Amino acid sequence: MKKVIFIVLLVCLIGTQVSIAQANLLNAKVPQEIGIQNEQQVKADNNDPIEYGYVDDRDILWSKTVWEVINLDERINFPYYYPNNNNGYLSSARQSLYRVLIDNIESGEITEIYSDDYFSEKITFSDLQESLESRKLSDEGIEKSNQGDEITDDDYDVYKIQSDKVIQYRIKGTWYVNKRLGELKYRLLGIAPVAPDVSTLSDGPEAQADALVPLFWIWFPDARKALNKNKVFNTRNSSQPITFDNMLNSRRFNSSIYKEENVYEDREVKDYIYEDALRQLLESNRIESVIRDFEQDLWNN
């Protein structure tokens, strides 16, 4: 019986690998055939994310909402940053998280876009253009303007927020204890790319580093279907890529808490610990410990 179960699991695993690996790579006669799925692969490939189970409010014994920052200069977070250049090679099969988000916003696949982390003011893709693109007169344009000559579009330098400018992500989520299941769970609620203010792109790196802002906030459940269609490079096994939806829901990233819900109008850690990066990090770890220890104390008392 155990042997039969093992064979069934092995067949399922092999089938999963075939469906998520780079399609037709080993059978392609010409490079153009790479990525083309056969009929069986198309039927087996499911792009729908795993649905969240229904959680009744009466089953929530305890909860805490926290805001975290994911720094993309940390090696473990590289899959969310690369490839940061849409050169037509890797970008045709792999994209950065920012490119996935902005492309699906532009196409209308993601519609729940907001200007703040409380999701109170909804915005559209056209509303984002001011925060994603800036135009300034070039030196030649300034000279022409001083001489009274006509200014054209070619006289402007255009600065755009691209994937390489997004160096952080902010996420908002809720930790809660489901008393029916008797375990601590996490639900991701929102995500926001963070980049220098577009008006500082013409300045030096120091000015950009001091002007980091969240570009927009996305209600995460609305983006899950789009994120589940795009896969992340797996450094351990390139034949088994992982979707952005799975990566984020399983918390496969390193982050630090910069805010928790509190009586002081949800003030950030930096608002009550001034200019001390070490103490701010220790405070972030303390908040994490409170969350982690609650589940342990639940069963020890």
Residue 92's pLDDT is what?
A: 61
Residue 11's pLDDT is what?
A: 38
Q: Is the dihedral of CA 51, 172, 251, 232 positive or negative?
A: positive
Query: For 266-289, what is each residue's pLDDT tens digit?
Result: 999 999 999 899 999 999 999 999
Confidence grade of residue 91 (pLDDT, cut at 50, 70, 90): low
Confidence grade of residue 83 (pLDDT, cut at 50, 70, 90): confident
- Segment 221-240 shows an average pLDDT of 88
Q: Residue 84 carries which side chain, given as an amino acid letter?
A: N
157 vs 62 pLDDT, higher one: 62
> What are the sequence ranges of the domains in the chain?
1-46, 49-276
Residue 10's pLDDT is what?
A: 41
Cα(267)–Cα(101) distance, integer angstroms: 28
Residue 6 has pLDDT above 80, yes or no: no
Which residue, among 171, 177, 286, 277, has the nearest Cα to 219 in the 3D structure? 171
Query: For 12-24, what is each residue's pLDDT tens digit?
Result: 433 444 334 466 6
Q: Give backbone dihedrals phi and psi of 196, rounded to 5 degrees, phi first.
A: -60, 150
**How would you label 187-219 residue by residue, b for 16+ Cβ within 10 Å and e otherwise?**
ebbbbbbbbbbbebbeeeeeebeeeeebbbbbb
Confidence grade of residue 74 (pLDDT, cut at 50, 70, 90): very high
Q: Which of 67-71, 154-158, 241-245 has the lowest mean pLDDT?
A: 154-158
Confidence grade of residue 301 (pLDDT, cut at 50, 70, 90): low
